[in-house]
Amino acid sequence: IQVTQSPSSLSASIGDRVTITCRASQDIGNDLAWYQQRPGKAPKLLIYSASSLQSGVPSRFSGSGSGTDFTLTISSLQPEDSATYYCLQDYNYPQMFGQGTKVEFK
Amino acid sequence: EVQLLESGGGLVQPGGSLRLSCAASGFTFSAYAMTWVRLSPGKGLEWVAVVTGGGESTYYAHSVKGRFTISRDNSKNTLYLQMNSLRAEDTAVYYCANISPGDSVDYWGQGSLLTVSS
């Protein structure tokens, strides 16, 4: 199963609403997760099962979608959100990450 | 506290081999599938391989299938990744991970750098 993520990068301001999308090449139900990776750090799970917020993750992060189209939304961008975000299809093996979206500030 | 500690990275020539290890603690190692994920410079995250808790099943990314072998020793709480026929494009930070997103499981090591270069 291929996963296509867009955009590859974006530039936004503090407080902006940010949306990142992933599209799977076939129906994966809700078996999609979102990760955040800051430079020099291990990835961190933000959203699992397409829309469930991982414990300890701020509520400004949310996920939606099912089937083939999925979205990660940051409702009000904060300075600490500068990172690269990846989706991961965990529907079957081999699992696959999206290409990543680098979020930077204007 | 869950801890995953990778070791074994380094500089290898193209065509060479290397084995990464990951020592796990703080959880019942044999109860969990374990995964290797890599981050290549200038590229994104890539899921590499997974081995089930008992070691009976393994799965690989197409890019490494036939060259890499994932295994585990549950008596030593250790995960391995044997990498053969290494290529420049295998250069990456390799993460050992206990991840099962659907079960909200998310533990990662600090990463081990592999550089493939002549």
Write the DSSP string, B81-115.
EEE-S--GGG-EEEEEEEEEGGGTEEEE---EEEE
Q: Does residue B72 surpass a pLDDT of 90? A: yes
β-strands B10-12, B112-116: how paired?
parallel
Mean per-residue pLDDT, B101-111: 92
β-strands A83-89, A61-66: how paired?
unpaired
- What are residue A85's DSSP bridge partners? A36, A101
Mean pLDDT score across all residues of chain B:
96
Q: What is the dihedral of CA A41, A45, A50, A55, to 10 degrees?
A: -150
Among B64, B108, B110, B113, the residue to mutate for chain A (most A Cβ within 10 A) = B108
Is A67 part of the contact surface with chain B (CB cutoff 8 Å)?
A: no
Nearest Cα residue in chain A from B49: A94
d(CA B62, CA B41): 19
Cβ contact B108:B49 at 8 Å: no
Q: A11 is written with which tokens?
A: 């530039």
Query: For the segment A4-59, what is each residue's pLDDT rounded down to a tens digit?
Result: 999 999 999 999 999 999 999 999 999 999 999 999 999 999 999 999 999 999 99
Per DSSP, A25 falls in state: S
Q: Does residue B103 surpass a pLDDT of 90? A: no
Mean per-residue pLDDT, A48-77: 98
Of B39, B101, B110, the CB nearest to A88: B101
d(CA B44, CA B46): 6
Query: What pLDDT shows up at residue B17?
Result: 98
d(CA A93, CA A86): 17
Question: What Cα–Cα distance (Å) separates residue A24 from each residue in A2, A65, A97, B16?
Answer: 6, 11, 10, 35
Is A85 part of the contact surface with chain B (CB cutoff 8 Å)?
A: no
> Measured between beta carbons, which residues in chain A are less than 8 angstroms from residue B47?
88, 94-97
Query: For the segment B3-43, what is each residue's pLDDT rounded down to a tens digit?
Result: 999 999 999 999 999 999 999 999 999 999 999 999 998 88
Element (H, E) at A6: strand A3-6
Q: B27 is written with which tokens?
A: 């959880």
Q: B75 is written with which tokens?
A: 């008596």
Q: How many residues does chain B have?
A: 118
Q: B40 is written with which tokens?
A: 């290549």
Query: For the segment B76-90, what is each residue's pLDDT rounded down to a tens digit?
Result: 999 999 999 999 999
Among B36, B38, B47, the residue to mutate for chain A (most A Cβ within 10 A) = B47
